[in-house]
């Protein structure tokens, strides 16, 4: 019997039933929080095309080079807060943990998102020093 892989975003669903439907590019994320979770999942799976497609063109880098050495191993995600600031803007505060070259890191960020033509995009974020 095949047991479905859990979703890397931390929700108690299979990848296919959770972030997989968004990272496939077939379904836009319905909220900024869902987009943030699916983007985290895309980082864990090195899905650069999805990350670039969901990054707002005004702030999007040309490339991410996710396969460069040393590679990040993403460990977990905790969404601390999600706030819709108006009809087309939202913020998501999160903590993501990873290891790079055997060393542990903690990313605590408040990300800003904008919705255009029915699709949410990552705009930018403020990293909190800890």
Report if residue 7 sits inside a domain: no
Distance CA 14, CA 7 (A): 5
Provide the mean pLDDT of the chain.
93
pLDDT band at residue 68 under the 50/70/90 scheme: confident
Report if residue 101 sits inside a domain: yes
pLDDT band at residue 2 under the 50/70/90 scheme: low
Report if residue 103 sits inside a domain: yes
pLDDT band at residue 122 under the 50/70/90 scheme: very high
Quick one: average pLDDT of 4-33?
A: 93
**pTM (2 d.p.):** 0.93
Report if residue 95 sits inside a domain: yes
> Domain of 81?
20-57+71-127
Q: What is the pLDDT of residue 1?
A: 57
Report if residue 66 sits inside a domain: no
Quick one: average pLDDT of 43-72?
A: 93
Number of domains present in the structure of the chain: 1
């Amino acid at each position: 019997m095949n047991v479905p892989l859990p979703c890397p975003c931390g929700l108690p669903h299979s990848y296919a039933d959770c972030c997989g439907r968004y990272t496939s590019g077939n379904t836009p994320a319905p909220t900024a929080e869902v987009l943030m979770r699916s983007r985290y999942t895309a980082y864990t799976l090195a899905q650069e095309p999805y990350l670039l497609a969901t990054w707002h063109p005004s702030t999007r880098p040309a490339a991410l080079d996710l396969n460069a050495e040393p590679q990040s191993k993403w460990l977990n995600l905790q969404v601390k807060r999600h706030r819709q600031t108006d009809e087309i803007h939202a913020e998501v505060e999160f903590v993501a943990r990873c290891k790079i070259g055997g060393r542990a890191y903690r990313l605590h960020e408040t990300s800003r998102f904008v919705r255009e033509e029915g699709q949410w995009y990552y705009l930018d974020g403020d990293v909190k020093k800890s």
